[in-house]
Amino acid sequence: MIKKIAILTSGGDAPGMNSAIRAIVKKAEVHGIETFLVKEGYSGLYKGDFVLSSKIDLDENFANGGTIIGSTRFPQFKKLKIRKIAKSKLDEKEIDALVVIGGDGSYKGAQLLHELGVKTIALPGTIDNDISSTDFTIGYDTALNTIVHAIEKIRDTMKSHRRVAIVEVMGRGCGDLALFSGIATGSELIVTKENPKTIDDIAKVIKEQMIKKGKRSTIITVSENIFDDLYALRKEVEKKSGIITREISLSHIQRGGKPTAGERIMTTLMGIKSVDLLYKGKSGIALGMLNGKVVSTPIPESLNIKRKSRKNLTEKINKINQI
């Protein structure tokens, strides 16, 4: 019987993490389970930095962005001796189970703890939408809306001065934020890892849009880590196209902000499900949303699901948006 559950957030923060924490705590209370919050992710777990959930007003903070309990990247957790110390910290508090909210690296940490005998459930907390066992990751919808609103504002000023903007968005190796924000904003060119473009390609699109078609603005939406130097890219594109160009990296504003309604609903349902599974003795499980329903997948399987290609869709949208 589960009597105590700990909760941690790991990796990059994502809007919706706080509402997931609140749902876990509330559902645990229904079963009479005591809950602890781990400060600063796996680093805090290793240090035994726990606080009773009753010490934090989750009702007041669940709709806020970021993570109220902090998060870090802690690569040292790959070492067995570090994980054994972390497990000993849970044992000292007689904590029976752990819910981890984070990305694929956080999932791997949860699986390794599961193999040490800790009951674990993982929730997909990352704005990148790069976990294939779920349609949407926690934070993705909010980040997408943030990007769309930013590009709309950038478009306004580009139109006013007849200019081009190269807008870099997050996503790591996943192009979903670039692709779907590009669809939502009518970006004339979307560049992702699956659909790379050269400087000449970009300049050609700009000339066609601004000179041949006479548009007053062109937006080039680019996934991060495609080009090493955004400023140098802008200078070369401007030189080859002959059109004044600006480069904008949206950077960390994409992670902030209050989670959307959809985000809050999804995280609440996942949080409830995580406690239900632990109460039934389940462990080593990753949760996700598929076709509007919460689903559970063994963590190793969730990490090995092949990502659906967006290449054809990106090419189709680029053609449509350039007409």
pTM for this predicted structure: 0.96
pLDDT, tens digit, for every residue of 61-118? 999 999 999 999 899 999 999 999 999 999 999 999 999 999 999 999 999 999 999 9
**Token pair recorded at residue 301:** 């399987």
Element housing 168 (H / E): strand 163-169
Predicted confidence at residue 1, as pLDDT, reads 84
Active site residue 13: no
> What is the Cα–Cα distance from 320 to 317, expressed in whole angstroms?
5
> What is the Cα–Cα distance from 6 to 25, expressed in whole angstroms?
9
* DSSP for 175-186, written as a single string: -HHHHHHHHHHT
For 172-183, give one letter per residue: b (16+ CB within 10 A) or e: bebbbbbbbbbb
Give the strand pairing for 4-9 and 97-102: parallel
Of 7, 219, 175, the residue nearest 99 (C-alpha):
7
What's the CA angle centered on 137, arms 11 and 42, to 5 degrees?
Answer: 25
Cβ-based burial of 92 (10 A; exposed 0-12, middle 13-18, buried ≥19): exposed
Kindly report the CATH number that applies to the domain delimited by 4-139+259-304. Answer: 3.40.50.450
Give the strand pairing for 50-52 and 34-38: antiparallel
Q: Which parts of the chain fold into alpha helices (H)?
A: 17-30, 41-47, 58-61, 80-92, 104-115, 140-161, 176-185, 199-207, 230-241, 261-279, 299-304, 311-321
Q: Are 40 and 290 in contact (CB under 8 A)?
A: no
Kindly report the number of other CB atoms within 10 A of residue 323's CB atom. Answer: 6
List the chain domain ranges.
4-139+259-304, 142-255
CATH 3.40.50.460 fits 142-255, yes or no: yes
128, 130, 141, 176: which is the annotated catalytic residue? 128
Q: Are 172 and 14 in contact (CB under 8 A)?
A: no
Q: Radius of gyration over alpha carbons of the chain, in Å?
A: 22
Kindly report the number of other CB atoms within 10 A of residue 253's CB atom. Answer: 14
Predicted confidence at residue 316, as pLDDT, reads 98
Per-residue pLDDT tens digits of the chain, which is 323 residues long: 899 999 999 999 999 999 999 999 999 999 999 999 999 999 999 999 999 999 999 999 999 999 999 999 899 999 999 999 999 999 999 999 999 999 999 999 999 999 999 999 999 999 999 999 999 999 999 999 999 999 999 999 999 999 999 999 999 899 999 999 999 999 999 999 999 999 999 999 999 999 999 999 999 999 999 999 999 999 999 999 999 999 999 999 999 999 999 999 999 999 999 999 999 999 999 999 999 999 999 999 999 999 899 999 999 999 999 99
Fold: same for 4-139+259-304 and 142-255:
yes
